[in-house]
Amino acid sequence: MSADARFRFRPTGAVIDLSALTRNYRRLRERAGRIEIFPVVKSDGYGHGAVAVARRLEEEGADRFAVASAEEGIALRRGGIAGQILILGFSDHHDAPVWRNYGLIPSLYDIAQARAIAGAVRGSSERQPVHLKLDTGMGRLGISPGELADMIALLRESPGLELAGTFTQLARAQEPGSPATDRQIETMRGCLAALSAAGLDPGLVHVANSAAVLLHPSSLFQAFRPGLALYGVLPSEEIDPNGWEPVMTVEIQAPVEYAGDLMGDLNGRRGRIQGMDTKGATQFIRAQAPMAEMLNYQNDLTAMTQGRASFTMEFDHYDFVPQLQADKIIAAAKAAKTGEEEEEE
């Protein structure tokens, strides 16, 4: 597509490079060896388009995916995704027919929720696969070690449930020096031992997110769940950025009375902003930057991708909000030009 066609209706665009996704996926595969991978495609694939991302990863051999909700799982099925789909977040017993119809796997993370689900699937002709989410220290969703005995009792007396996997979420994997990760792994091992001692097979055990797979090899059990790294967003400065490629870049095009390079690298790194594309007598600039460069923290990414909200990019001493205020770029460009002229004088 020509640049002009791409910018026909609005001056900004998010450009998704699925070949970069493929290369990031292969790098993760190399890092993790032969263990299973659950690409995390929640929040519409972190804003990259869950179906497009999952399709591409299926072509690469991925056969399991993790989403946040049943709704996201349904969207993947409707998009033709055939692999297993694990719901990491909210699930309740009302959704049991949906899990069956769409082949989705809910997580059990609360005793009352699990009890209601066990009741809803009792007597079904096929057992409902579930994964057990343990809270080993994150303090969010999950069965705590203190509740595990009750959970074990419930699983043993619930023939309608099939424990297909057991997992936990690491709270501080992005901090290599933090003792929290080793503590969580130890707690996880204790919980797995308790399940085994009770005669329960934990199924597929998975712990690591992106930061963990890159910084804590000891967290690789039988599967891992990368999100950020797949999209080329590195969760820690401790990770060597070499070779990781941003899947999403943002491009902004706006007419300016300015020619030539406006600025060198954006934020001193991979982004660039330069004078480009002449249209009539007007110069267009296109700013292009990896998403990660524009965001302070991954929560911003979630907020942005979920709500398609705007975000702020630091542009040297100018801040601007590309989706809403392309005209500010013009102002910035004019200011830059004026500044330059003043310097020249």
Ligand X SMILES: Cc1ncc(COP(=O)(O)O)c(C=O)c1O
Q: Which residues bind ligand X (CB under 6 A)?
A: 40, 88, 169, 209-211, 225-229, 235
Coil, strand or helix at 296: coil
Strand partners, 285: 254, 275
Residues 6+ apart with CB under 8 A from 69: 42, 87, 89, 90, 91
The smaller minimum CB distance to ligand X, of residues 235 and 246, is found at: 235
The smaller minimum CB distance to ligand X, of residues 167 and 284, is found at: 167
Smallest separation, CB 235 to ligand X (Å): 5
Residue 103 vs residues 130, 157, 179, 187, 222: alpha-carbon distances, Å? 11, 23, 38, 31, 22
The smaller minimum CB distance to ligand X, of residues 88 and 120, is found at: 88
Could you give the dihedral angle defined by the CA atoms of residues 87, 91, 94 and 95, in that order, rounded to the nearest 10 degrees?
A: -10
Smallest separation, CB 6 to ligand X (Å): 28
The smaller minimum CB distance to ligand X, of residues 225 and 286, is found at: 225
The smaller minimum CB distance to ligand X, of residues 28 and 326, is found at: 28
**Cβ-based neighbour number of residue 261 at 10 Å:** 12
Tell me the C-alpha distance between 236 and 220, whole Å: 18
The smaller minimum CB distance to ligand X, of residues 230 and 329, is found at: 230
The smaller minimum CB distance to ligand X, of residues 143 and 287, is found at: 143
Could you give the dihedral angle defined by the CA atoms of residues 131, 59, 215 and 248, in that order, rounded to the nearest 10 degrees?
A: -110
Residue nearest to ligand X (CB): 227
**Cβ-based neighbour number of residue 268 at 10 Å:** 9
Residue 252 vs residues 131, 307, 326: alpha-carbon distances, Å? 43, 19, 7
The smaller minimum CB distance to ligand X, of residues 211 and 289, is found at: 211
The smaller minimum CB distance to ligand X, of residues 76 and 273, is found at: 76
**Cβ-based neighbour number of residue 307 at 10 Å:** 8
Tell me the C-alpha distance between 72 and 151, whole Å: 27
Smallest separation, CB 229 to ligand X (Å): 6
Smallest separation, CB 134 to ligand X (Å): 11
Contact in structure between 163 and 200 (CB atoms under 8 Å): yes
Smallest separation, CB 5 to ligand X (Å): 33
Residue 15 vs residues 20, 38, 118: alpha-carbon distances, Å? 11, 24, 44
What does the DSSP 8-state code read for residue 228? G
Tell me the C-alpha distance between 84 and 290, whole Å: 30
Strand partners, 261: 274
Smallest separation, CB 139 to ligand X (Å): 13
Smallest separation, CB 234 to ligand X (Å): 10
Smallest separation, CB 42 to ligand X (Å): 6
Smallest separation, CB 133 to ligand X (Å): 8
